């Protein structure tokens, strides 16, 4: 699992590559915390290259959402793959996290 991020004018994009599982989840929390602490509270987690997510991965996403909101921003997700989409639907979390087609589209409306 690898995370990288890129900050631009209106938001920060965190790329998650590989399996977002029990082992990777704490790293995601760290990366997002770092991004938010750096002043970018509008965060997009790009999941285009994440083919698997388990309950710990989902927990980390929600934890990151909380961190972003606490900082006055938001966390959105983009490029959701089939397994991740199934997990979101199954847990009702698709009602909390809207899946956007791409990182650019995620904050396209505001």
Residue 85 touching another protein (CB under 8 A): no
Q: Which of 54, 85, 99, 104 binds another protein (CB under 8 A)?
A: 54
60-65 own/partner pairs: CB under 8 Å, 24+ apart? 60/20, 60/24, 60/25, 60/26, 60/28, 60/29, 61/20, 61/28, 61/93, 61/97, 62/93, 62/96, 62/97, 63/29, 64/28, 64/29, 64/32, 64/33, 65/96, 65/97
User: Of the candidates 72, 65, 67, 64, which has an alpha carbon nearest to the alpha carbon of residue 28?
Assistant: 64
Q: Which of 29, 63, 85, 99 binds another protein (CB under 8 A)?
A: 63
Q: Which of 7, 29, 33, 59 binds another protein (CB under 8 A)?
A: 59
Q: Which of 8, 55, 98, 102 binds another protein (CB under 8 A)?
A: 55
- Compare residues 7 and 21 and give the one whose CB is closer to another protein: 21
Residue 98 touching another protein (CB under 8 A): no
**Residues forming the site for another protein (CB under 8 A):** 19, 21-24, 26, 52, 54-56, 58-59, 62-63, 65-66, 69-70, 83, 87, 90-93, 95-96
């Amino acid at each position: 699992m690898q995370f990288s991020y890129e900050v631009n004018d209106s938001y920060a994009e965190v790329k998650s590559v590989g399996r977002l599982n029990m082992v990777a989840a704490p790293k995601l929390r760290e990366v997002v915390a770092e991004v938010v602490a750096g002043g970018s509270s509008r965060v997009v987690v790009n999941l285009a290259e994440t083919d698997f997510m388990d309950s710990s991965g989902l927990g980390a996403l929600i934890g990151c959402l909380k961190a972003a909101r606490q900082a006055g921003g938001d966390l959105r997700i983009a490029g959701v793959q089939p397994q991740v989409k199934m997990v979101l639907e199954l847990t009702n979390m698709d009602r909390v996290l809207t899946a956007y087609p791409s990182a650019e589209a995620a904050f396209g409306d505001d």
